C-alpha cells in the first residue's frame, strides 16, 4: 500500500515540477506524506513517532548546500536519521528518499547547478513534508545531534 502511495505522490509531484506548477507538486507531497502516515502505518504511536521524525528530517533538508548529485543527496538524507531510528522505523526512508530524490533530479534537470533555485526546491519539499506530517505529530520534544548539528522538534 505504501509503495503505491509513494509512486502516486512521486508521479503527481513530478508532473507538478515538470510543468512548473510548484503548488501541484507541494500538494502532492503533503497529501502523499499524510496518506502514507494514515494508511501505511496502522499503529497510532508508531505513526506519531514516524511523523515526528519526518518533521525533523524535512527541516534537515534545509541544511543541504550546493547541488549534490542524486546519489550524494540520498547519502545525506540517510545521514540525517540515526541508524537506530532507521532500523526501528524504516518507513522514514521509504517515505522520504524516493520523493525527495525524484523531485531533486527534476530540479537538477531544470535548473542545473543554480544552487539558490535548487535550495528553493529543497525548502519547498521540506515545507510540504512538514505539512503532511503535521496532523500526526505529538506534543513534546524530539531531538537528535548529527555531525555536530542539533535538530529539534518542539510543539
Give per-residue pLDDT as tens, 122-134.
Answer: 899 899 999 999 9
> How many Cα neighbours within 13 Å face the side chain of 32?
28
**What does residue 141 show for φ and ψ, rounded to 5 degrees?**
-130, 140
Distance, in Å, from the CA atom of 16 to the CA atom of 145, rounded to the nearest integer, reads: 34
pLDDT at position 18 over 60: no
3 state DSSP class of 146: strand
Least Cα distance to 2 among 40, 31, 34 occurs for 40
Segment 70-124, tens digit of pLDDT: 999 999 888 888 888 888 888 778 777 888 888 888 889 989 999 999 999 889 9
Distance, in Å, from the CA atom of 48 to the CA atom of 137, rounded to the nearest integer, reads: 5
Percent of the chain with pLDDT over 90: 14
Judging by beta carbons within 10 Å of its beta carbon (0-12, 13-18, 19+), is residue 139 exposed, middle or buried?
Answer: exposed
Cell of 103: 523531485
pLDDT at position 5 over 90: no
Cell of 114: 543554480
Q: What is the pLDDT of residue 139?
A: 59
Distance, in Å, from the CA atom of 44 to the CA atom of 94, rounded to the nearest integer, reads: 18
Amino acid at each position: 500500500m505504501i509503495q503505491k502511495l509513494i509512486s502516486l505522490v512521486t508521479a503527481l509531484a513530478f508532473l507538478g515540477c515538470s510543468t512548473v506548477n510548484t503548488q501541484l507538486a507541494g500538494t502532492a507531497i503533503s497529501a502523499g506524506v499524510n496518506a502514507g502516515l494514515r494508511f501505511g502505518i496502522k499503529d497510532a504511536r508508531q505513526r506519531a513517532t514516524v511523523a515526528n521524525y519526518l518533521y525533523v528530517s524535512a527541516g534537515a533538508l534545509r541544511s543541504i548546500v550546493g547541488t549534490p548529485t542524486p546519489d550524494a543527496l540520498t547519502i545525506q538524507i540517510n545521514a540525517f536519521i540515526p541508524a537506530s531510528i532507521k532500523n526501528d522505523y524504516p518507513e522514514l526512508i521509504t517515505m522520504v528518499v524516493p520523493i525527495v530524490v525524484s523531485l531533486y533530479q527534476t530540479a537538477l534537470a531544470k535548473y542545473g547547478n543554480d544552487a539558490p533555485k535548487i535550495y528553493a526546491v529543497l525548502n519547498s519539499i521540506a515545507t510540504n513534508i512538514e505539512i503532511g506530517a503535521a496532523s500526526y505529530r505529538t506534543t513534546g520534544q524530539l531531538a537528535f545531534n548529527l555531525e555536530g548539528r542539533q535538530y529539534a522538534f518542539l510543539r
